[in-house]
Structure 1
Amino acid sequence: MTITYAIPDTHGCLDELRDALTKVDLSDPSTHLVLLGDYVDRGPDSAGVLAAVKALCDAHPDQVTPLAGNHERWFLDWLGADDNDPAWLLADTGLVTIKSFLPTQVVEQAVAELAGGSIDTVNATLKREISARHDDLIAWLRERPLYYETATHLYVHAGVDEEAGPMWKAVTIDETFTEKFPPSLGPTSVGKVIVAGHTGVGPLHAKEGRMRCWEPFVDAGHIYLDGRVENTGVHNVMRYDAATRTTTFL
């Protein structure tokens, strides 16, 4: 691929994702788009974001790579967990993610069961409804890869085990790919520039005295892109031209 784009954490912000995608030209078959995960939670339309990403992937199967983030893994773990484990459900403030997947009537009826039942009953009902209505989408989500690499860059949601150097692929565990924190900074020994989301760039800039800055954070071995779109309303989109070896941000 000559041009590679990367879009970080979308977190249910469908309109903002659509705006970001207008910057990406997939009409050229040598163009590739990597989405860095965390499509769900926080924003108003997690289900819509997942459907849009899947549709884009289906339309351009050789040009679009959606990676998995920790929020996808947590969502899938909840769906597959025992009904008496409502931890993810209780963390879904205002049931904003649940409501994006289910009709209002179904959610209200399930919540009404709390009056005569238990949180476990509500948990079971909501999981059953989501699984039944979105089985194809959930099956697709389970298949998302944890990283994508080119000759020069390594794209990942959170990070890799950089202490392993060139052996990072054999050593890095799944949780590091999706949940690594704090982020590694400075030169890296993995042999490629690491492009990641997950870590909000604001605090990284603040450490350097740039307060309230949500632009991409770039150092000697990394590019962090997560501009907290759910709060700022803006995506940081990276564009790398392999022919000219230039990186730009849109």
Structure 2
Amino acid sequence: MAVYAVGDIQGCYIELQQMLEQIRFDPAQDRLWLVGDLVNRGPGSLQVLRLVRSLGDSAITVLGNHDLHLLAVAEGAAELHRTDTLDEILAAPDRDELLAWLRQQRLVHAEGDYMLVHAGLLPQWSVKQAASLAREVEDALRGPDYATFLARMYGNTPHAWDDDLAGYKRLRVIVNAFTRMRICTLQGEMEFRFKGEVEHIPEGYLPWFEVPDRKSRKATVIFGHWSALGLKVMPNVIALDTGCLWGGPMTAIRLEDRQLFQVSCKNPVAQNW
């Protein structure tokens, strides 16, 4: 059995198909780990959801910010943005089944020495604590009052973790760290406007994974979300968002030997919004 982790897909269905062909993915034996953002901005979000769902237990996906945005829009908790490409999903005959399946997906996946997450982990969080906090959000998403959670999910504050946080403020910080964070201070204070390259990070901030003595450093964290960061393969960090949507390749890595696989983008979006 081989485990392949794949970077952000964002509706790039053709490239995902080609990647599965290149790695000769066998759902009966292999496993696919997806870093989230299955949908949006690309042209084939509906097809991506259908394909990943059809793979059943052979595919594990964590939720990204665009996946949560789709769920919020579907519940009337958020409005479509000009650049969204979610209409086909929202109008699909199997819309309800796909959205119900998406709500059941996790925020993080921890297995062996690896942790899969869309954006990152706050430096104060161990792998064990991160998994526990993720379950709090997953329970809210899967519960009967999930529409209220989605409506209260948005916002940049609080911008740092506090063990005493409660209610929707607590859940919001957890969601923002797992699905939106790129940089933070040494104390774990998050900043969400920055999307650029490392050399342009604002003073006082650094990539979340470079915070000294972060509590998750003994695990290898696999993540995406930060296309300007690009591919980064380190002993305890694997960043896989290589910007397929914007004209870069789609990237996968086989975890057993860290062999890389890439598929060229076929129809890049004109610009990085």
Structure-2 change in CA distance of 1:240 and 1:75 (3 Å)? same
AA in 1 matched with 2:130: W
Selected match of 1:71 from 52, 66, 72: 66
Distance 1:54 1:92 in 2: 27
Q: Distance in 1 between matches of 2:73 and 2:45?
A: 15
Is the Cα contact below 8 Å between 2:116 and 2:223 reproduced in 1?
Answer: yes
Q: Is the 8 A contact 2:109 2:116 kept in 1?
A: yes
Which consecutive residues of structure 2, in runs of 5 or more, have no partner in the other structure?
A: 135-173, 184-206, 262-273
- The 8 Å contact of residues 38 and 71 in structure 1, kept in 2 or not, is answered as yes
Deviation at 1:25, TM superposition (A): 4.1
In the alignment, the residues of structure 2 paired with residue 152 and residue 29 of structure 1 have an alpha-carbon distance, to the nearest angstrom, of 23
Look up the match of 1:217: 232
Residue 196 of structure 1 is matched in structure 2 by: 223
Q: How does 1:4-23 map to 2 (within 5 A)?
A: 4-23=3-22
Aligned to 1:97: 86
What is the distance in 1 between the residues matched to 2:26 and 2:14? 21
Deviation at 1:189, TM superposition (A): 3.0
Q: Residues 12-45 of structure 1, C-alpha deviation per residue, up to 9 Å, x if partnerless?
A: 1110111111233443855321111101111112
The verdict on how the C-alpha distance between 1:193 and 1:199 changes in structure 2, with shifts beyond 3 A counting, is same
In the alignment, what sits opposite 2:181?
180
1:222-233 equivalences in 2 (<5 Å): 222-232=237-247
Partner of 1:248: 259
Contact 1:197-1:225 at 8 Å conserved across structures: yes
In structure 1, what residue type is equivalent to 2:86?
A: T
Distance 2:27 2:60 in 1: 16
Q: Is the 8 A contact 2:241 2:251 kept in 1?
A: yes
Q: Which runs of 5+ in 1 are unaligned?
A: 102-126, 205-213
Q: Size of the alignment, in residue pairs?
A: 195
Match of 1:168 among 121, 130, 137: 130
Question: 1:195-217, CA deviations, whole angstroms, 9 ceiling, x for partnerless residues?
Answer: 001111x3x3xxxxxxxxx4x21
Distance 1:79 1:13, change over 3 A: same
Q: Please state if 1:145 is matched with 2:160.
A: no
Q: Percent identity?
A: 27
Contact 2:121/2:177 (8 A) holds in 1 = yes
Greater Rg over alpha carbons, structure: 1
Aligned residue number for residue 116 of structure 1: none
Q: Relative to structure 1, is the Cα distance of residues 221 and 133 closer, same or farther in structure 2, using a 3 angstrom cutoff?
A: closer
SS of the counterpart of 2:42? Answer: coil
Root-mean-square deviation (Å) = 2.4
The alpha-carbon distance between structure 1 residues 75 and 92, as it changes in their structure 2 partners (threshold 3 A), is farther
Aligned CA distance change for structure 1 residues 133 and 164 (closer, same or farther; 3 Å)? closer
